[in-house]
Amino acid sequence: MKKYFAAAALLMMMAACGSAGQDKKLEGTTWKLAKMEAIPAAAVGKEADFFTLEFNAADTMVAGRTNCNRFFGKYELKGRELSFENLGMTRMACPDMQYEDAFVKMLDDVTFTAMGGEILGIAGIAGSGQKELLESISGLQKLEDGSKITYIEPDGTECLLNGMDPLDIIRKGLLLSFVPEDRFGMGLVGGMNIIQNIMLRTYRRGKGPLTDRKFPRDLSQKIVDDLEVVTPDIGRTPIRRLSGGNVQKVLVGREIAQNPAVLMTAYAVRGLDINTSYVIYNLLTEQKMKGVAVIYVGEDLDVLLELCDRILVLCGGKVSGIVDGRKTTKDAVGLMMTKIGG
């Protein structure tokens, strides 16, 4: 299985030895860890070859050393994406093994980028971490130590989301929208009507609970009209009385109405009829055409291949690979989901 992470992120943490710099190719260079929160500076600098990576120009091999063991394997650099495969490692027991564990975990962890103007699909068998991934990005789940989520503004400004909950993200003015798997448990309140559920996302526009009621009513009516939501009354009928398809239209419409820069959806069409499913697919495609970064977690591989520009494949909470949705096959993705093809 290949281990993927952003090359730029790794090389920012490591310094080139000798005359090689970040503007040169990796081949034939040696890199030493410069800084990492989990490893004290004294441990990094204890020996010259501690926490190093050496890239061989002849056979695209990588070798390196932690503070104890040595490792080796194949590597490939494509743009900003660096991948390792067939990594092997010696297994000596040494003092301060926690530093080695942290360094190796960094190599094993994954960084991916969801770009504006694309749909990034997330594929994997049930329980591979798809839902948890989106919940971590949206601030609903606590990140593990050493993990990092960065929101990049259109002007290049970066904002670290670590430690932020959904309210913190809103206060920062970050344009994230999330359509969760659990429509009522996390998305909408079943006992409220459409207007009230829209107000859950818009009430902070005003200064009190009685202000700005016209906006959520107008927005509710627009969502109902544009998405052909069938409801007896937008201001009286509890949303739990609507069909699953109509409930999902309201939820997706509400999140899109926030004009997000990033739109995340977890199983957005699960349990829906084919017509409603295509309404959702079209909404996501429209957002992509507007420059939104759409992250789509789905379980139908045919849909993922048709809808998504790239597909990130998860297996057991780790990434098996990232493939071009227009060029890969269902069989290839299926094999990666079980680690056979990674």
* Least confident segment among 61-65, 71-75, 166-170, 196-200: 71-75
Q: Which domains does the chain have, with CATH numbers?
A: 3-108 (2.40.128.270), 118-337 (3.40.50.300)
Q: Determine the residue type at 337.
A: M
Sign of CA dihedral 108, 117, 180, 297: negative
Q: Please report, rounded to a whole number, the percentage of residues in the chain having pLDDT higher than 90.
A: 33
Position with higher pLDDT, 205 vs 311 = 311
The answer to whether residue 318 scores a pLDDT higher than 80 is: no
pLDDT band of 279, cuts 50, 70, 90:
very high
In 24-42, which positions are buried (b, 16+ CB within 10 angstroms) versus exposed (e)? eebeebbbbbeebeebeee
Q: What is the pLDDT of residue 291?
A: 92
- Alpha carbons 292 and 288: distance in angstroms, whole number: 5
For the stretch 156-201, pLDDT in tens is: 788 888 788 888 888 877 888 999 888 888 889 999 999 999 988 8
The answer to whether residue 113 scores a pLDDT higher than 90 is: no
Q: What is the pLDDT of residue 81?
A: 63
For the stretch 288-299, pLDDT in tens is: 999 999 999 999
The tokens for 188 are: 């909408």
Q: Please report, rounded to a whole number, the percentage of residues in the chain having pLDDT higher than 70.
A: 79
Q: What is the pLDDT of residue 104?
A: 67
Q: What is the pLDDT of residue 341?
A: 47
Mean pLDDT value of segment 34-54? 79
Mean pLDDT, the chain, rounded, equals 80
Strand order in the sheet with 118-123: 176-179, 262-266, 293-297, 118-123, 310-315, 318-324
Position with higher pLDDT, 34 vs 274 = 274
Beta bridge partners of 73: 62
- Alpha carbons 170 and 151: distance in angstroms, whole number: 13
C-alpha 210: how far from chain center: 37
Q: What is the pLDDT of residue 130?
A: 84
Q: Could you count the other beta carbons within 10 Å of the beta carbon of residue 135?
A: 20
Q: What is the pLDDT of residue 188?
A: 93
For the stretch 9-25, pLDDT in tens is: 444 455 555 544 444 56
For the stretch 243-263, pLDDT in tens is: 999 999 999 999 999 899 899
